[in-house]
Amino acid sequence: MPWQDVSKMQLRKEFVMLAMQEGANVRQLCRRFEISPTTGYKWLAREQQGEGLSDRSRQPRHSPGRCPDAIAQRICLLRQEHPAWGARKLAHRLKHLGEEVPAISTVHAVLQRHGLIDPAVASSRPWQRFEHAAPNDLWQMDFKGHVPMLEGCCHPLTIVDDHSRYAVCLHACSDETEITVRERLQEVFRRHGLPARMTMDNGSPWGNDGSHYTRLDVWLMKQGIRVSHSRPYHPQTQGKDERFHRSLKAEVLQGLPLRHLADAQSRFDRWREIYNQQRPHQALDMQVPIQRYRQSSRPYNEHPPAPHYAEGDIVRKVCEYGKIGWKGQSWRVGKAFISEQMRLRSNAEDGVFDVYLGHSVHRAA
What pLDDT is stored for residue 359 in this prediction? 62
Q: Which of 100-109, 189-198, 245-254, 338-347 shows the lowest mean pLDDT across its residues?
A: 100-109
pLDDT above 50 (res 1): no
What pLDDT is stored for residue 126 in this prediction? 46
Q: What percent of the chain has pLDDT over 90?
A: 28
Q: Tell me the pLDDT band of 187, cut-offs 50, 70 and 90.
A: very high
pLDDT above 60 (res 362): no
pLDDT in tens, 74-123: 777 777 777 767 777 777 777 777 777 677 777 777 777 766 665 544 44
pTM of structure: 0.62
| Residue 125 identity (one-letter amino acid) | R
pLDDT in tens, 141-163: 999 989 999 999 999 999 999 99
pLDDT in tens, 169-178: 999 999 999 9
Highest average pLDDT, of 11-20, 79-88, 265-274, comes from 265-274
pLDDT above 50 (res 132): yes
What pLDDT is stored for residue 63 in this prediction? 52
What pLDDT is stored for residue 210 in this prediction? 45
pLDDT in tens, 300-327: 999 888 777 777 788 888 888 788 887 7
pLDDT above 70 (res 72): yes
> How many residues are listed for the chain in this entry?
365
What pLDDT is stored for residue 66 in this prediction? 63
pLDDT above 90 (res 286): no
pLDDT above 70 (res 229): yes
Question: Which position has the higher pLDDT, 55 or 276?
Answer: 276
Query: For the chain, what is the mean pLDDT?
Result: 79
Question: Which position has the higher pLDDT, 38 or 75?
Answer: 38
Q: Tell me the pLDDT band of 350, cut-offs 50, 70 and 90.
A: low
Q: Tell me the pLDDT band of 299, cut-offs 50, 70 and 90.
A: very high
Question: Which position has the higher pLDDT, 231 or 18?
Answer: 18
pLDDT above 80 (res 220): yes
Question: Distance between CA 255 and CA 338 in Å, rounded?
Answer: 46
